[in-house]
Every structure is written in C-alpha cells, then in structure tokens.
Structure 1
Amino acid sequence: MFNLILFGPPGSGKGTQSEKLIEKYGLIHLSTGNLLREEIANETTLGLAAKSYMDQGQLVPDEVVIGMIRSMINAKPEAKGFLFDGFPRTVAQAEALDNLLAEKQNEINIVLALIVDEEELVSRLLNRGKTSGRSDDTNESVIRARIVEYETKTAPVADHYAKSNKVVKVKGVGSIDEIFGSLTQHIKL
C-alpha cells in the first residue's frame, strides 16, 4: 500500500492536485475537509460542531478526525493506497496516523508539501469564496487566522516526517499542470 500526504496551507491547491493524483495513481482520496463538509451539509451533530470550529478558523478536535480516518481506512481494505489531504494537521494526528498505519503493517511513504506565499493564499481563498459556498473563504481575517493556525499547529507536521526523510517541498505556484508535473516527479509507485 502506498500512502501519500499532500501538505500545504489553506488555498495551496491540495484539493485540485489531489484529484489529479488520485486519477493517475488509483489512490483513495482521504480528505478530512470533504468528510467534514459532508457532515456539515447533512447538518449532523458532528457537522454542526465542526462548522463552529471552522467558521472561527480553528481546527476540529483530533479525536473526531482520527475516528473518521480509522473508519475510512477500515472500510477500504483493498485500497492500493491513500492520499491524505488536509490530514494530519497536528503532530499528535501524525503520530496517531503513524500508529494506525503501523497496526496494518504500513506507513506514510512520502509527504509532498506545496509551498505558496501568504498573499497568494489569501487571494486564492477570497476568489474561491465567491463560488464555493464556504463561509470560511469569504472573510479575509478568518482566512489569515486559518493561515496562522496552519503555521503554528500544522507546519510542525512536516518536521515530524522530515526526521524520516519523507518530505519533499514543491513550488505550489504556476499552472495546475506544471505543479502536477512537479509533484509526480517524486512519486515512485
């Protein structure tokens, strides 16, 4: 099983690139953002609680997210591998994911980190907010709070995986196809 983490701040292009990587390599897309948005759209108790955190630019609690990931992995025993998009977001989540995969005699093979500067991220997210229906993409101060949250809580995840030489930084600016080409150069399946 090949497990890839696509890593980067909000607006770095993870969702767009994930779709292309899944199509090319046949991996299962495991996006906690999509799982949470589905819960929000269905107005479940979990979804409403998650929405209150997300609307403030905060992360949803680890135990909720990790439970969803475990369920998804257990539901797909035949998977060729998983592309983790938006997870793990904290070192504690990374450690929990490593433990979960180790239970299945598996591991993260590579972390591809999209690098994009803050002003480009803000511009992309405000643009996306015009059509996405996502309330967290329409307010610049919430967007900047999400970026700060990413830098303080999520960026250290790269350090966690860098200790095992699994992190590759990829420039996340350019055309979708140029960025995709850069990402695929580092995937050995």
Structure 2
Amino acid sequence: MQKHTILASQSPRRRELLNLMGIPFTTVNPNVDEVINPNLSLENAIEELAYIKALDVLNRHPEANIISADTIVVCENEVMGKPVNEEDAIRMLKQLSGKKHEVITGVCLLSSDKEVRFHTKTLVEFYEYDEEFVKAYVQSKVPLDKAGAYGIQDKGALLVKGIEGDYYTVMGLPISELYRALKKFNQEG
C-alpha cells in the first residue's frame, strides 16, 4: 500500500509546485529552528536543514512519506535566508542589485525506513534597480517570506536579468529533480 505523502512546509509556492506534479499530499508545518550549520558546506547544510524539517514531521506522522525543502541565497559569501523584517529585506535587495548570486535548494525525502537528500543550484543575475522600486516591493510584504527577499514568480521577476539553471530551484522546489528522486524513493525497499 502506498504511504500518504506530507509536505513539511507551509510555503504556498511549494504547495503549488507539488500540486503541479499531480502528487496527492497534505501539509504539516515543521516546528524547527531554521539555522544553517556553519560546520558543513552550504550544500550539506541546506540538505541537513531539509532533513531536520522532515524528521520533525516524520516523528509526528511515522506512517507517512515526508517531502521537505529549504532554500538559501548566497551573494558575495553572505548566506541570505528569509529577511527578519522590512529593513533586512531592503538591505538584501540592495546587496543583490546588479549582481549574480546563487540559489541553493536542499530537498529531503524521508520515511520510517528510507531517506534521500539532494540539492540543486541556480545562478541568478539581477539588473541594477532603484531604491524606489525596492521600497515599494518590500512595502507590499510579498518578499518577506522568501530567501533573499524576492520571488522570481512574482514582481521580483522584474529584478531578474537572467538565470542559469533550474527556475524551480529559485521558487523553492526543484520539481524535475524531485520527480526523479521520488521515482527512485518509491521503488526502494
């Protein structure tokens, strides 16, 4: 019998993308501190954070298959998660203006008897933009729940000059890689 799938996230973007894949699921919000382990590479740390989220939900729902993810933005060696407030969002967007940055999304598939972790990276280049645009975008509250303080799928797309890699990595769930990982995960043991 196929186990029930739970998305360990309240992100509307991740829910939208999992729906796009046609996977029936429910969502459960993980109750963890989203802290990057400084002793690991960024890639391993973001995978570990996705694992910690999945494990938290699995402990409450041991009969389920859990999908979790976490996304960070890296610009000039600074790791940017979600902004803590509007001022932090403005600071992040000013730092990203006119520059390239890397978006890393770590994913974990977890059940009581198996685990798959992976990450994907996408390089994003921003146009230079004025402070007026940044302030209006931040005041809309839209970027406040997003790594790097922007959403490539919303008005934040106006900032983007180009990307190299997977668009969905920037949205927070690399669905092409996830599809392949789920096939393998569901075929194992």
TM-score range, shorter chain: 0.3 to 0.5
Higher strand residue share: 2
Greater relative contact order (Cα < 8 A, sep 6+): 1
| Structure with greater Cα Rg | 2
TM-score (norm: length of structure 2): 0.34
Normalization by structure 1: what TM-score?
0.34
